[in-house]
Amino acid sequence: MKILKANDGPLTNFEVLDYLRSRGVSKEVAVTVAASEYKVFQYLVETPAYSQTRENVTNFVRNVKKYDLSKAEVINLINIRPSLPVGIYLMVEKCDARLGETIAEQLAEAVTECLPPPPAQPENQDVQESDALAGGDPEGNDEPDEPEPEAVRENLGDIDEKAEDDNLMGVS
Amino acid sequence: MFSLSLVEHTLRLPPHLLSLPLEKAVKHELDELFLDKVVPKLGLCVSVYEIKNITGGFIFPGDGAPTYTVKCRLVIFRPFVGEIIDAKLKDYDENGLRLSLGFFDDIYVPSILLPSPSNFKPDPENKNRRRWVWEYGDANDGEQTSGDRFPIEEIGETIRFRVQSINYPSIPLEQPNNSKPFAPMVITGSLDNDGLGPISWWE
């Protein structure tokens, strides 16, 4: 295997969630993708990315252009969506020198305005789910194999009918 | 956290998939090969984003399967150093914390990267266990008389951490039977900053 381009473009959590949704995954439906992909979906559903839309994100990027932030900082802001200035200080390097307190507050307001708040989480459920996920991990790699062989076995039936050379198949 | 990677791979298409349309068969093979696997220096492969092109289809002598060269883009989980991530607390001991993202479990916060000063103290409620407590004392005051204590309590609590480094340890040749399963990708996190730690501390 050759890596042609290790970094062909960073993705925000929202974009990955959008891609998984386009594959047909939702909270109820999990069969269209592999188990490991569904685990990623389950993680993303609890982040602010779940309630974001493409317009929100493009709007936000446009609004923060004037603050002169690096790409990594903008991605951090979109993924975590800090509502308090303490979060802004955390994500923007040398915040005091570059922005200063008032501008950091303005940025926090811009974040809360443009990006919707994360989904409210019922805490007990999360603890049980995460325990179940942690327990299920060693088997995670085995699960994707289960639905696939069935589909393939049906097709093998087709091969039997089409095969002209009966010596290859043990049947008949 | 995630990024796209362009990868070229030569793969052999097993004969039992020959009845499927080419793209579906190739996607199935790529899924089996890459999904949930760590590629060293690249990261954990989460999904096959798209197949850019498929060339080849040569059959080597003595083989029943065609070999294709596929160029595809993969969604890779690879946080950059300095990224802030929310993860759930999976486990803790005297060496530090272990966090989990559901699909990725090998995130460790060693004790030196916990907010200073932190101590592993006996739990006042449950005498048998110890837990990590952040003692936020006055910087000028050597004794923490007026300090607040912030414990890191429950398994499953959401913790915000900053990525300190990512390591891809090489596969060990031999492993003793009782050791932990080999982790091909290990993320070291830090909690030593304002705004990091359990999100309940900062809200």
Q: What is the DSSP string of B28-48?
A: HHHHHHHTT-EETTTEEEEEE
Lowest mean pLDDT among A84-88, B30-34, B85-89, B161-165: A84-88
Best of B16, B34, B46 to mutate (most A CBs within 10 Å, chain A): B46
How confident is the model over A28-85, as pLDDT tens digits? Answer: 877 788 888 888 888 988 888 888 888 988 988 888 888 888 888 888 888 888 888 8
Q: What are the phi and psi torsion angles at B16 (to 5°)?
A: -70, -10
Q: How confident is the model at residue A149 (pLDDT cuts 50, 70, 90)?
A: very low
Q: Is B196 on the interface with A (CB under 8 A)?
A: yes
Mean pLDDT computed over B133-153: 58
How confident is the model over A74-124, as pLDDT tens digits? Answer: 888 888 888 888 888 888 888 888 888 888 888 888 888 888 887 765 544
pTM over 0.95: no
B160 contact residues in A (CB cutoff 8 A) = 80
Which chain B residue is nearest to residue A132, measuring alpha carbons? B102
Helix A54-63 with A13-22: angle, nearest 10 deg: 160
Q: How confident is the model at residue B119 (pLDDT cuts 50, 70, 90)?
A: low
Q: In angstroms, what is the C-alpha Rg of chain A? A: 23
Q: What is the DSSP string of B112-132?
A: GGSSSSEEEEE-SS-TT-EEE
Identify the residue with better confidence: B162 or B121.
B162
Lowest mean pLDDT among A21-25, A152-156, B48-52, B105-109: A152-156
ipTM for the predicted complex comes to: 0.82
The answer on pLDDT for B151 being more than 80 is no
